[in-house]
Amino acid sequence: MSLSAIDSIDRGVANLRANWELVLLQLGQVVVCVVLAVVGVIAVAFGVGASFLLQLGDLSDWPAALERLRGLTVSGAVVAMTLGVLFILVTIVGLIYSWFQAGILATLDRGERQAPPVPNLDWRLFRTFQGRSFVGWASEGAWRYLGFFSALFVLAMILIGGCGLVIALLAPVAGDFGIEGVGVAGCLTLLPLLGLCVLLNLFALIAMVLLARPDGGVWRAMRQALGVLRRRFGGLLLLVLLFVIAVVGVALVFAPLSQGMATAVATNGAAWFAVQFLLALAQWIIQGIVTIALLASTVAMVRGEMDSREGAR
């Protein structure tokens, strides 16, 4: 049966409560990806800087080093090596992110499928998390999710390029009408771009959920996601807006709290660092809970829509 946004959130929260370990795995995913990205960027910067230092030669003679700096060039080998390292880094980070997403969404999907499609269920009926199962589902779906994220990136680049082309075509015409014309042209291109961003994000969320199904394939999930988006756009948009409001509310609560606590212990460096760390960790955990709740609620809504369509046949 099709579910409203509120009913989907009710089932999503129950799914989250039953599989609470996913919040910790979500946080672990962020930590691992951020650390790898930072280490990779530092390594690339160090490699490029080392190549420059080799070209500068002896730095003890500063006038001569500055003179050589003017003619400094970046060799094709350095550019190729940098791009190669960045590509490998992006692929590794993307694969790790896909691995975690595949395991998290597969766990939520199995939990939703395990629970009967009736209201007021005991949250224990959603319990499916097991470490071995998570690793198996994550390993099985990692490459599938990486392929989807790659296709999504290409699609986003095409949309951005199309909007850029429209802006380039409108710019000369708008310039003839002065600053007012430029402003109108900017609004006319910005609003469709924002609409496309919203649609693309909703489409990506639905497709990620459908990829977790046992029969989920990249192109199959993308085709089905378009159908679900067309039929349940209002409910999905409301669902996402509610969770965006929740995230903004958390930020608004923690911002003054962090500022007030920092002021209270400003004279003690160690205490200031400890307070900031604990507040950031608490906010991070709450945002992780909200993220998993959004994914679980979307799983419930998409599952209800797919089941209702299959039942109608």
Predicted local confidence at residue 263, as pLDDT:
72
Q: Please check the confidence at residue 75 and state whether its pLDDT lies above 90.
A: no
Position 170 confidence tier, pLDDT thresholds 50, 70, 90: low
pLDDT tens by residue, 229-265: 998 899 899 999 999 898 888 888 887 877 777 677 6
Q: Which of 35-44, 60-69, 142-151, 164-173 has the lowest mean pLDDT?
A: 60-69
Higher pLDDT, 61 or 19: 19
Give me the percent of the chain exceeding a pLDDT of 70: 77
Mean of per-residue pLDDT scores for the chain = 81
Higher pLDDT, 46 or 103: 103
Predicted local confidence at residue 162, as pLDDT:
75
Q: Please check the confidence at residue 121 and state whether its pLDDT lies above 60.
A: yes
Predicted local confidence at residue 284, as pLDDT:
86
Predicted local confidence at residue 173, as pLDDT:
60
Give me the percent of the chain exceeding a pLDDT of 90: 31
Residue 71 CA to residue 313 CA, distance in Å, equals 72
Predicted local confidence at residue 48, as pLDDT:
66
Look up the pTM and report it. Answer: 0.82
Predicted local confidence at residue 296, as pLDDT:
94
pLDDT tens by residue, 258-302: 777 767 766 666 777 787 788 888 888 888 899 999 999 999 999
Q: Please check the confidence at residue 220 and state whether its pLDDT lies above 80.
A: yes
pLDDT tens by residue, 124-164: 899 999 989 999 999 999 999 999 999 988 888 887 777 77
Predicted local confidence at residue 175, as pLDDT:
52
Predicted local confidence at residue 104, as pLDDT:
95
Q: Which of 62-66, 179-183, 291-295 has the lowest mean pLDDT?
A: 179-183
